[in-house]
Amino acid sequence: MTSLWLADRANRPSPPTPLLETDRSADVAVVGAGITGLTTAVLLARAGKSVMVLEAHSAGAGATGNTTAKISLLQGTKLSKIIAKHGAKRARQYVEGNREGQSWLIGHCQAQGISVQREDAFTYAQSEEGISSARAELEACKAAGLAAEWVDNADVPFPFHGGVRLPDQAQFDPMPLLDSLIVELEERGGRLAQGVRVQKVSGQGDELAVHVRTTDADEFVVNAKQCVLATGIPILDRGGFFARLKPQRSYCMAYRVPGDITSGMYISTDSPTRSVRYAPTADGQRLIVGGAGHPVGHAKQPASSVQELDAWAKLHYPGAMQTHYWSAQDYSPVDELPYVGPILPGNDKIFVATGFDKWGMTNGTAAALALASRILGGRMDWAESFASWSPHELSGIPKAMQNNLEVGFYLARGWITPVTRIGDRTPDDGGVVSGPPWQLEGRSVVNGVERRVSPVCPHLGGIVNWNDADESWECPLHGSRFDPAGKLLEGPATRDLTAAQ
């Protein structure tokens, strides 16, 4: 499951050396080497800060290396949702922040010779049912100051019942961007440590202690004056962001297709979501389709939706041959606006950047601009619409309560359901079964290898579910993921599942 962007990366900069014992302090520790963390790190290094980026896997291993990488201000039906909750003024601020993120990103790519394709973006109806929400998005775009228009037709081989078009947006391969940010960071004296997972951050006086664990199980502390958590969902429970975010996993496939692939970037308003773009590669173009999303840990058999997505691509692009298949997750904020700023009100030591709702190319860059300017003593006028703590969260309270009721439901269901199935056989490839009363066991079989783990998530005790499309364990509470052997892949958890008793 390697994305088109992460496969065959011959020109990637060589991995940096591990952190020496004498080199374990910085003005700012940035946790996470995706678009948000690396852009923040470079902006701070440009201003003379000493910056250390700590990455659990490798740069781009999270959503950034597994995205569809549309750099667009037309973002599905995002603006209708923001306007419904916050009104047009906030939506204009959100667009302004995204516009600034977009123009920084494209300007940086142009300056570095990184290929960016300028393309129109479409939010379209794939059936009659989708027309009203597409029309509503057009009105929302106008209210938020975007020069979008309605089109009845588009030159595409899949069902298209009209949609919104926003001209001159962009798309790219995100990995050359990350490579260029790493090179610049290191040229400016910053450091990137990969294979280093942050476990917790404690603080005394002016200094924070960032506790890390390497892939070789070495544990040590990095000292920093400030810390930015650019980890997708924040890894610290302070601030309770995990209760204000819904982790959403979705799937992408790349295909070699006979003939030309229609230009433009498409996302449907109606279900099941279909996201489409092309990507230039060394040996011709690829078609990319995305969709089959589900809240992490909630889908029974996600593999069937992935198969439907594949069948859809092959139906509408006859002769399409799948070359890549991958998945990733991003976080939907309960009140629709991203959370970028202090982890707790008034805290100017630890910052978060999350809630990009699958639109982090522009939002992540905007977050980096907002955080860097805040840390350096400036401010962005539009940053109010990205605030981590502000009155706008009030509008999210009903949704947060609903999410947390759901969390409570999944917590209880995770513990109870397997107990009611004592004696049942293990599901074919994976699932949670009961051992002796209350000693649950997660069993999986991948490539003929059976593994048994304790299914209790080390974050806050959720019971993980098996995902047959990713062949991994997923926690339905806050989205942590683990491989079949229980090794932590991602999420707010910072430890592995333990062995079955």
Ligand X SMILES: Cc1cc2nc3c(=O)[nH]c(=O)nc-3n(C[C@H](O)[C@H](O)[C@H](O)COP(=O)(O)OP(=O)(O)OC[C@H]3O[C@@H](n4cnc5c(N)ncnc54)[C@H](O)[C@@H]3O)c2cc1C
Contact residues for ligand X, defined by CB under 6 A: 31-37, 54-57, 61-64, 67-70, 197-198, 230-232, 235, 250, 252, 290, 328-330, 356, 358-362, 364, 494
Is 236 one of the binding residues for ligand FES (CB under 6 A)? Answer: no
Instruction: Yes or no: say if 404 and 422 are a contact pair by the CB < 8 Å rule.
Output: no
Look at residue 61 and give the partner it binds from ligand X, ligand FES, none, a contact being a CB closer than 5 to 8 Å depending on partner kind.
ligand X
**Helix, coil or strand: residue 246:** strand
Comparing CA positions, the residue from 480, 487, 403 lying closest to residue 231 is: 480
| 500: Cα separation from own chain's centroid | 30
CA separation, residue 389 to residues 222, 250, 293, 348, 368 (Å): 27, 28, 28, 13, 17
Residues 6+ apart with CB under 8 A from 169: 70, 71, 72, 73, 74, 102, 118, 119, 120, 121, 265
- Is 30 among the residues that bind ligand FES (CB under 6 A)? no
Is 491 near ligand FES (CB under 6 A)? yes
Per rule CB under 6 A, is residue 477 in the interface with ligand FES?
yes
> Contact region for ligand FES (CB under 6 A) — 37-45, 49-57, 343-351, 477-485?
477-485
Provide the sign of the torsion angle of the four alpha carbons 339, 1, 71, 53, taken in this order. positive
- Which of ligand X, ligand FES, none sits in contact with 459, Cβ below 5 to 8 A by type? ligand FES
What angle, rounded to 10 degrees, do the helices at 88-112 and 174-187 form? 70
Tokens for 48?
């003379």
Query: Per CB under 6 A, does 497 bind ligand FES?
Result: no
- Contacted entry of ligand FES, ligand X, none for residue 86, CB cut-off 5 to 8 Å set by kind: none
Q: Please, which residues bridge with residue 287 across strands?
A: 255, 278
Q: Which does 63 bind (CB under 5 to 8 A by kind): ligand FES, ligand X, none?
A: ligand X
Rank residues 126 and 467 by Cβ distance to ligand FES and give the closer one: 467
* Cα(396)–Cα(44) distance, integer angstroms: 31
Q: Contact 133/167 with Cβ under 8 angstroms?
A: no
227 binds, among ligand X, ligand FES, none (CB under 5 to 8 A by kind): none
Tokens of 287: 């078609």
Residue 434 or 480 with smaller CB distance to ligand X: 480
Figure out which of the listed residues 480, 483, 488, 497 binds ligand FES, where binding follows CB under 6 A. Answer: 480
Pick 63 or 164: Cβ nearer ligand X:
63
- Distance in Å, CB of 37 to ligand FES, minimum: 21
- Using the contact rule CB under 6 A, the part of the chain among 8-16, 100-108, 219-227, 454-462 near ligand FES is 454-462
The CB-nearest residue to ligand X is 360
Residue 36 touches which member of ligand X, ligand FES, none, C-beta under 5-8 Å by kind: ligand X
Q: How many residues bind ligand FES (CB under 6 A)?
A: 13
CB 20 to ligand X: min, Å: 19
To the nearest whole angstrom, how small is the minimum distance from the Cβ of residue 416 to ligand FES? 16
- Give the residue with the Cβ less far from ligand FES, 68 or 329: 329
Give 25 or 417: the residue with its C-beta nearer to ligand X.
Answer: 25
Distance CA 471, CA 500 (A): 18
Rounded to whole angstroms, the Cα distance separating 213 from 383 reads 33
Q: How far apart are CA 323 and CA 25, in angstroms?
A: 43
Q: Is 457 an interacting residue with respect to ligand FES (CB under 6 A)?
A: yes
For residue 411, the minimal CB distance to ligand FES (Å) is 8
* Cβ 300 to ligand X shortest distance, Å: 20
From ligand X, ligand FES, none, interface partner of 80 (C-beta below 5 to 8 A by class): none
Q: Residue 34 or 264: which CB sits closer to ligand X?
A: 34
Secondary structure E strands in 257-403:
265-268, 274-281, 284-295, 321-333, 339-342, 350-354
Query: Which of 491, 55, 34 lies closest to 233 in space, CA to CA?
Result: 491
Residue 105, binding choice from ligand X, ligand FES, none, Cβ under 5 to 8 Å by partner class: none
Q: Give me the long-range contacts of 301-310 (CB less than 8 A, separation at least 24).
A: 301/468, 301/469, 302/249, 302/251, 302/467, 302/468, 302/469, 302/470, 303/468, 303/469, 305/251, 305/272, 305/469, 306/251, 306/469, 308/272, 309/251, 309/253, 309/272, 309/274, 310/253
In a 3-state reduction of DSSP, which class is residue 33? coil
H helices of 161-316, where?
174-187, 302-316
Residue 455 sits in the site that holds ligand FES (CB under 6 A): no
Among 475, 488, 489, 497, binds ligand FES (CB under 6 A): 475
Per CB under 6 A, 243 contacts ligand FES? no
Candidates 24, 277, 358, 459; binder of ligand FES (CB under 6 A) is 459
Stretch that binds ligand FES, among 52-60, 78-86, 271-279, 473-481 (CB under 6 A): 473-481
CB count in 10 Å sphere of residue 215: 12
Say how far apart CA 254 and CA 144 lie, in whole Å: 33
- Least Å distance, CB 408 to ligand X, is 25
Nearer to ligand FES, 190 or 430 (CB): 430
- Which run of H or of E encompasses 419? helix 397-419
Instruction: Give contact residues for ligand FES (rule: CB under 6 A).
Output: 457, 459-462, 475, 477-480, 491-493
